[in-house]
A = this chain, B = another copy of it.
Amino acid sequence: MSVTAAKGFVASGVTAGLRPSGLPDLAVVRSVPRAVGAAVWTTNRVQAAPVTVSRRHLAQAQPQAVLINAGCANAATGAQGEADALASAEGLARALDLATEEVVVLSTGVIGAPLPVEKVLSGARMAAAELSADGGEAAASAILTTDSGPKVAIANGVGFTVGGMAKGAGMIHPRLATMLVVVTTDYPLGEGEAEKFLRPAVEQSFNRISVDGDCSTNDAVVLLANGASGAARDDAALVAALEAVCSDLARQVVADGEGATVVLEIGVTGAASEGEAEAIARRIATSPLVKTAAFGHDPNWGRVLMAAGSAPYGDGYARLNTDRLSVSFDGVEVFSLGAPTGNVPELSGAVCRIDLDLGLGDGAAGYLASDLTYDYVRINAEYTT
C-alpha cells in the first residue's frame, strides 16, 4: 500500500518511456484533502535541478503532490535543467488543478543528460488520470532504477497511519543519483510542523546508513500530512510511527545495496559525546577494509580498531582510549579494555553486528552498512560510458 496506506492519498505509476528497459518510470503521489509537508534534501553542494526547483516551491507553498521520474537525474544540466524541472511541475499542476508551487518534483537516473521533458509531461498527464487509492504499489515500482524491487513500509498509530516508499541502493549505480523517499500520513499536522517531525526521523534512519559512503546530488525525503484520519493529536505516537517507517525503509535500502550480501549493524556506546559516537560508527560503516572483511565473514577487529581510531570529528578525530575500549562481533567479545580476548566468533549470517563500548561517556549511535563485494566492483566498473 505504501504511500496510499494513509487516508486521503492517491498515487499512480506509469511508463513514460524514460528508461531504456521499458519499465514503469514515472510516479505521482497526491493528497486529496489539503496537506502540509516538508522535505529533507541532499547536502551535496552539487544539487540537481529538481532539488533547486522543489526547495523553492516548498518555501512558497505547502506541497500537495509529488512527481517522480526515474531514468534521468536532471543533475548538472545547468539553466535548461531548471527550466525543464519547472515545466514538469507546471504540467502536473495543470492536470491536477494545483498551483505550480504546490508540486514537488524529484528525479533519479543518469547525471548530465537533459530531461526528456515532453515524455515527462505526457507521462504526468497519464499518471494524473490514473491516480487512485490503490496506486501506492504502482507508484513504488515506478521510481526504481537498479533496485531489486519496491521498498515500502507502513506503521499504524492509534487512529492514523504512516506509509512510505523508497528508491535507492546508495549513490551507487553508474551516473545514477539515487535515494528518493516519499512518506505520507493522515495524521493532523499544522503548517510549518512537518519539518519538525521529519528531520529527526531522517537523522536516525536515512542519515545512519551507508552503502558506499557516497552522497548523491538528488537525495530527498518528502513528508505529506493531510489529517484525513481524523485522529486526535498524539505527537509521540507520530514520532514513533515516522521513525518506524523511515528505519524500515532505510534498512531495505542497505540490504538492497548493489552487490550487498551482508547488512552490518554497528553500535557504538560509551563515547565522549553523541557526535563522536556517530563519527566513529560512520567511519566503521564506510571503511573498505571493514566492509570487505564482512563480505569474507571475518571478525576482523583489528580493522574495526583502525577505523574507530581515525574517525574525523571537529578538527581531529573522535576521542578514543584503547585501554577503555571493548569490541564484540555478534555478541562475542573479541577485544576487552585494551587487550584481545582470544575469542573467534563464527560469522556466517546475512547480518553482522559489531558493538563498541568506548568507556568514556554516554554518547551512543547506531549505523547500518552493506558489505563491499565483487559485485559492487563489477556493477560500478563494468558499465562504461
Contacts and interface: CB of A to CB of B under 8 A. Distances in A.
Interface of A: 43-47, 75-78, 110-112, 171-172, 174-175, 177, 212-217, 286-289, 292-293, 295-303, 305-310, 312, 316-323, 335, 338-340, 344, 372-374, 376-378, 380-385
Contact of A45 (B288, B309, B376, B377): B309
Given A295-B381, A381-B295, A289 B172 contact: yes
Contact of A377 (B44, B214, B295): B295
Given A292-B377, A340-B76, A46 B214 contact: no
Contacts of A312: 312
Given A288-B372, A306-B177, A374-B378, A385 B299 contact: yes
Contacts of A382: 296
A214 B380 contact: no
Contact of A305 (B111, B213, B292, B339): B111
Contact of A212 (B171, B288, B301): B288
A287 B305 CA distance: 21
B46 A306 contact: yes
A385 B174 contact: no
Contact of A288 (B43, B214, B310, B338): B214
The interface residues of chain A, by DSSP majority, are classed as: loop
B296 A46 contact: no
Contacts of A44: 306, 309-310, 317
30 contacts: A44-B310, A45-B309, A45-B317, A45-B322, A46-B305, A46-B306, A47-B322, A76-B322, A76-B338, A78-B338, A110-B302, A111-B302, A111-B306, A174-B298, A174-B303, A214-B289, A214-B306, A214-B307, A216-B306, A217-B305, A217-B309, A288-B372, A293-B380, A296-B380, A296-B383, A298-B384, A300-B385, A344-B385, A374-B378, A377-B377
Nearest to A322: B46
Which of A288, A295, A322 has the most chain B CB atoms closer than 10 A to its own CB?
A288
B76 A296 contact: no
A380 B76 contact: no
Given A214-B289, A377-B295, A45 B300 contact: no
Nearest to A380: B292
A344 B175 CA distance: 14
A385 B47 CA distance: 43
